[in-house]
Amino acid sequence: MESGGFGSINKSIAMLSLCGVMLIAIIYGFVAYIEPKPTPLQGFTAPFVFGKFRVPDDNPLTQEAVQLGRRLFYDKQLSGDNTVSCSTCHLQHLAFTDGKARSVGVSGKTLDFNSMSLANLMWGPRHFFWNGRVDSLEEQALAPIQDPNEMAQNLDDLIDELEADDVYPGLFRSAYGKISAENIARALATFERTLISADSKYDQYLRGELKLSAEEELGRKLFMAHPDVKVSLRGGNCIDCHSQFLTSGFNAQFDGFSNNGLDTEALLNPGLQFTTGQVTDRGKFKVPTLRNIALTAPYMHDGRFTTLEQVLDHYNEGIRVSDSLSPLIMEADNQPQDAVNIRISLNLNEEEKRAIIAFLHTLTDHSFITEDKFSNPFDADTMPDA
Ligand code: HEC
Ligand code: HEC
Evaluate whether 81 touches 150 at the Cβ level (below 8 Å).
no
Label residue 37 left, alpha or beta by phi (over 0 means left) and psi (-120 to 50 means alpha).
beta
Q: How many CB atoms lie within 10 A of CB 205?
A: 16
Whole-number Å distance between alpha carbons of 134 and 143: 9
CA distances from 368 to 67, 95, 375 (A): 17, 7, 10
Distance between first and last Cα of the chain: 62
Evaluate whether 170 touches 386 at the Cβ level (below 8 Å).
yes
Q: What is the pLDDT of residue 293?
A: 98
Going by CA atoms, what residue is nearest to atom 2 of ligand 1? 89
Mutate to test the pocket of ligand 2, among 264, 315, 325, 353 (most ligand atoms within 8 A of CB): 315
Mutate to test the pocket of ligand 1, among 150, 182, 188, 275 (most ligand atoms within 8 A of CB): 150
Evaluate whether 365 touches 292 at the Cβ level (below 8 Å).
yes
Evaluate whether 75 touches 63 at the Cβ level (below 8 Å).
no
Q: What is the pLDDT of residue 25?
A: 59
300 touches ligand 2 (CB under 6 Å): yes
Rounded to 10 degrees, what is the CA torsion of 208, 296, 287, 355? Answer: 50
User: Tens-digit pLDDT profile for the chain (386 aa)?
Assistant: 444 455 566 676 666 676 666 666 555 555 555 678 999 998 888 888 898 898 999 999 999 999 999 999 999 999 999 999 999 999 999 999 999 999 999 999 999 999 999 999 999 888 999 999 999 999 999 999 999 999 999 999 999 999 999 999 999 999 999 999 999 999 999 999 999 999 999 999 999 999 999 999 999 999 999 999 999 999 999 999 999 888 888 888 888 999 999 999 999 999 999 999 999 999 999 999 999 999 999 999 999 999 999 999 999 999 999 999 999 999 898 988 765 556 788 999 999 999 999 999 999 999 999 999 999 999 865 444 43
150 touches ligand 1 (CB under 6 Å): yes
Going by CA atoms, what residue is nearest to atom 13 of ligand 1? 115
Q: What is the pLDDT of residue 386?
A: 37
Which residues lie below 8 Å from residue 313, measured CB to CB, with a gap of 6+? 353
State in Å: Cα 224 to ligand 1 middle: 29
State in Å: Cα 248 to ligand 2 middle: 9
Nearest 5°: phi and psi at 72? -60, -40
Whole-number Å distance between alpha carbons of 76 and 151: 9
State in Å: Cα 136 to ligand 2 middle: 23
Going by CA atoms, what residue is nearest to atom 11 of ligand 2? 287
Which residues lie below 8 Å from residue 295, measured CB to CB, with a gap of 6+? 93, 94, 95, 97, 364, 369
State in Å: Cα 162 to ligand 1 middle: 22
Whole-number Å distance between alpha carbons of 183 and 292: 30
Whole-number Å distance between alpha carbons of 199 and 119: 12
130 touches ligand 1 (CB under 6 Å): yes
Which residues lie below 8 Å from residue 244, measured CB to CB, with a gap of 6+? 49
Of 105, 77, 78, the residue nearest 89 (C-alpha)? 105
Q: What is the pLDDT of residue 342?
A: 64
Ligand 2 atom nearest residue 332's Cα = 5
96 touches ligand 1 (CB under 6 Å): no
